[in-house]
Chain A
């Protein structure tokens, strides 16, 4: 890259908000050479998107570009006349955002939207633009590249839409492409295809790109150089391989540590203790029940597991596999159609209204969206006081003391007690949610993606808190996540769901041991690793499996994974329900293939996830 003049130079960029009172980006300088992919990485609020937008001469409402120079291919976007700015944004720089769905008009066919920019800027005739779009669809590995343009946005999957948005951005052959968290909203298995498609296109077209992300492992696959941001200030900037292996700045080191969370100290459980919660034969779903009492939209199929007192069961699976549904069934928010749930050996009524107050107290639920789980009209104090009054009948001084103790327990400052939830940060809201659950003094907390909406560092702090509360109070968790590394960090037992079926269940160690269920294998190998080159080294088997995705038709097969599975048995797996088989490593799987066959298949596929833990 040495000799070429940089395409982008940023010098001393400074962006302020609130009329100059707070500085969002402070004295940021960097450059991007032609054909280089530079990553901006940092927690939310570190100013990544603000910098990316400044490259297009744009500042969000309330923000002002207060100083510094930006040059993109000989143009200075800051202070450019509107017409020239429109030209810059349409042709020279293009932007791929986190949510593709928001970038598409649901009422227009995809092709018309993809070529629109090329037509507006009179770069190509319609026919030429459409031909170029089809070539891009092919390069982005979209299924049916010639036909996909005729569809409407809702007819393609999220991962496909994300790639179509990339085609939309690349149609003008921009000099610079900005990718702002383009895969953050996707499942790991979907993310792989999208990342690979981006990478191939960037390489083939020699695109210069700025890749904005909070995920170091993803960035490690894409970037030549990484810039680490914190509170709007550059902490470190180095070639990717160097930054990942020999980070110079302490903040980079803490990011690296949070990206690969260490297992939290395990707790010795009394062997042979009677299970706290036992679930068996659970079938649940949404919609009115049919003649046999089964729901119109079945979600969970024949789920069985148990949780020992003080232990943690992790539930993993891709979006829509039924994880939240499971938590709601256990909490009594959604009555199950079949099956039983027992708590301490006592059967629980399907609905919360049919359970005793004591049963309700012992099982608490904490939701993913911390801000949606807090009533915006209630103060922190009121939120914590209610379960104390409701379950324990506390009043006056005793109540105030207990509220204060709970705030301490989750490390929230006492001064927050009279605030409304809107005045708390994301991490504080999640702590408050936990504190509310703890107020009941439960035996089991159902944690539905409690760290997913948080930054890695804040999420790691919540994980520490969960581990500590478990050690000190002996609470058990049903810990739901789509992120395998958090599951590994906290859980004793793991359950893997696919299309509402429990495909594998076992202790946390066995999750890394072959053989495993074919889906477990795919899921684990789809988790990005911090090592550059991980993406390019993925086995062809896993790539083919990752490309499939669950379809509506597949969900009705005896084994819904069958169309994607590399070791499927034709005419068996799609018709005969697979049996539950114990494996010698101590797990059980739902599969027709035997242990030896799976072992052989997974040995040749050369699993790459051996390095984890």
Chain B
């Protein structure tokens, strides 16, 4: 493990550390949080950093560190589940289309092309406005928005593999579609599929944060980082950390994932040469 990390480029290693850090916060954040959530711990709203509140306090005088640690679960968790769902569905459909070909491919590709032409934020707004906002709804909406993209990327990768002769050999042996997808094609495209997952994860984080900032995402009393920015936007006038810190959290998470993804993509192209 150690050897593996030291062989990564510094930027990739930094990305990996940031991603691991936020993943850990999403998992254990509430246990580490210094104050019980919701408890107003100070009369001072928009307070600067202090010993009791290392990241200051929010518009109700709550500890910002606690709020961010608890929010990590919503931002990272919801985005991960939504992206995972989008990638899983997109990849499965794409592998199926590329392997079976013919009509299946044509129909699937047309359908998903139609979906991709919807503007994503507008679609999300319409759904949330008509059905109301809940965590399952947000996950489903984000997943639906990002399935076509994942499908397109994976299908483009898979059709190249399907044309290879080892796939023909397996077909001639009489292998079923599922085996071809799972054993022959998927192992040769995992790395770019993971890269694609990372990129899509960033978009989903930004989409969900954007929705929350508009007040349509995770609803109070729960809060993800996007809602934290929104809640504390008035603090901007006082230069309070309360508005900067959640924005910073979003920024570090997306940059971390981006660095990691770049590293993976570079490795695949033999980019770092050793």
Contacts and interface: CB of A to CB of B under 8 A. Distances in A.
Interface of A: 328, 331-333, 352-353, 355, 357, 360, 363-365, 367, 369, 372-378, 386-387, 390-391, 436, 440
Nearest to A421: B166
Interface residues of B, number: 14
A367 B184 contact: no
B268 interface: no
Interface stretch (B7-15, B42-50, B171-179): B171-179
B174 A390 contact: yes
Nearest to B187: A377
Nearest to B175: A390
Nearest to A364: B172
A367 B173 contact: no
A357 B166 contact: no
Contacts of A367: 165, 168-169
Given A376-B188, A377-B187, A333 B171 contact: yes
Contacts of A365: 168-169, 172
Contact of B168 (A328, A353, A357, A376): A328
A332 B172 contact: yes
Nearest to A360: B174
Interface of B: 164-166, 168-169, 171-175, 183-184, 187-188
B84 to A, nearest CB: 22
Contact of B166 (A332, A333, A352, A375): A375
Looking at chain B's contact residues, is the secondary structure mostly helix, strand, loop, or mixed? Answer: helix
Given A375-B187, A375-B188, A390 B165 contact: no
A422 to B, nearest CB: 12
Nearest to A363: B172
Contacts of A374: 166
A369 B165 contact: yes
A333 B168 contact: yes
Contact of B171 (A352, A369, A372, A387): A352
Given A333-B172, A372-B165, A390-B174, 7 more contacts: A331-B168, A360-B173, A360-B174, A365-B169, A372-B166, A390-B175, A436-B169
Contacts of B174: 352-353, 355, 357, 360, 390
Most buried by B among A328, A377, A378, A436: A377
Contacts of B172: 331-333, 352, 360, 363-365
Nearest to A391: B173
A364 B168 CA distance: 11
B103 to A, nearest CB: 12
Contacts of B164: 372
Nearest to A383: B166
Nearest 6 CB-CB pairs, A to B? Answer: A377-B187, A360-B174, A373-B165, A331-B172, A367-B165, A372-B165
Contacts of B175: 390
Nearest to B172: A331
A386 B184 CA distance: 11
Contact of A377 (B168, B171, B188): B188
Most buried by B among A363, A386, A440: A386
Most buried by A among B168, B174, B184: B174
A373 B188 CA distance: 14
A352 B174 CA distance: 6
A367 B184 CA distance: 17
Contact of B184 (A352, A357, A375, A436): A375
13 contacts: A331-B172, A333-B171, A352-B174, A353-B174, A355-B174, A364-B173, A367-B165, A367-B169, A372-B165, A373-B165, A375-B187, A390-B175, A436-B169
A333 B188 CA distance: 22
A394 to B, nearest CB: 15
B256 to A, nearest CB: 28
A445 to B, nearest CB: 11
Most buried by A among B168, B172, B175, B187: B172
Given A352-B174, A390-B174, A390-B175, A373 B187 contact: no
A333 B164 CA distance: 13
A372 B161 CA distance: 10
Contacts of B168: 328, 331, 333, 365, 367, 373
